[in-house]
Amino acid sequence: MNRALVRRATAGVAAWLHQQGLAGPVVVGRDARHGSAEFAADTAAVLAGAGFAVRVLPRPIPTPVTAFATRHEHAVAGIMITASHNPPQDNGYKLYLGDGAQIVGPVDAEISACIDAVGRIGEIAMTDDGITVLGDDVLDAYVDGVRGLVAAGPRDLVAVYTAMHGVGAETARRAFAAAGFAALHEVAEQIEPDPDFPTVAFPNPEEPGALDLSFALAAKVGADLVLANDPDADRLAVAVPDPSSAGGWRALTGDELGALLADHLVRRGHHGANDLLATTVVSSRLLSKLAAAAGLAYGEALTGFKWVVRTPGPGQRFLFGYEEALGYCVGDVVRDKDGISAASSLPSSPPVSRPRADRCSIGWTTCSAPTAPT
């Protein structure tokens, strides 16, 4: 990932959009990784040079906000500069089309061919004309959308939150407050963006040791649960007290949390036979059982949210989808995994008992650790 590659890729994307007759605005967002600011600036300048109106998000922002902004701004495409939870030296380039979902075939191959056809890097037109920096109204609209996903009312939960040195904290604070959470206990060492990720060996909440600072703070404040976003805040990890686990806390697996979130959303009601629960072929089959028991539609997709969000058929409404690698999508506010709206959708009730002895609970149901809920 370097500036020449970013310019060439963007020129190819612009060429493909022109081929399709798509002439609307393009949204550009970025995280806080090394090079992200320069890569995003080059992306915007190439798009503007190709004649597109460019809408740049105002500062480092979570990936799901860029996905949301693509539809909110009625854009023909959205580009996010991020490497999610990859190592510090990495960066990446994520492309959404106007439907707010990541590209799939055959579009990916068509765009790749357009990139291959780009000439000399020095011949790519670049300009600042036509670039608009968006205001906080986009973030306001995202938070309002997240608020609409959850039942109103205070959340009687004591929670610890970590942004894993990423860009989730500002947006998470606003979304959690809108959802009725009391102020979260933040892991101070990890709350501000830092592209070197100094307190973790690997900035992925699934990795052993990544949540140790969160567990220490949770024990100190008597927390009910731990919430962790990855650096671009599109994934969510949740941990619960468990005296049988090392350190007294256990992170739920993606399948466990996916089943619990789905169960909670189903129990809330306001759904029908055309509402859909979806997951991937490598995730638990439990979601299909929940859907059948509740009389809901069920979809199963290949790995990746670019497929999960495309599972609804004609007339179906996407209620909830997840993949076992800690990716969750509640409703259709964002057509991608979103660790912030997923956390905001947690139930309002506290654990059944404190302390929990050898059992864990986060409000919907209770499961004997360490097996999956049944």
**Residues marked as catalytic:** 84
Reference 254, options 236, 233, 240; nearest CA is 236
Angle at 40 between CA 38 and CA 44, to 5 degrees: 115
Reference 190, options 258, 237, 155; nearest CA is 237
The CA–CA distances, whole Å, from 370 to 156, 192, 342 equal 25, 32, 22
Paired residues of 102 in beta bridges: 96
Residues constituting the chain: 374
φ, ψ for residue 297, nearest 5 deg: -75, 155
The CA–CA distances, whole Å, from 249 to 5, 190, 246, 300, 342 equal 43, 19, 7, 31, 21
Helix or strand run (H / E) with residue 279: strand 275-280
Q: What's the sign of the alpha-carbon dihedral 327, 190, 62, 181?
A: positive
One-letter amino acid at 232 equals: D
Q: How far apart are CA 139 and CA 257, in angstroms?
A: 26
Reference 322, options 286, 371, 296; nearest CA is 286
Paired residues of 26 in beta bridges: 54, 77
Reference 68, options 14, 139, 10; nearest CA is 139
Is 121 in contact with 4 (CB distance < 8 Å)? yes
Rg (CA), the chain: 21
Cis upstream peptide for 347 (omega within 30°) = no
Q: How far apart are CA 202 and CA 187, in angstroms?
A: 17
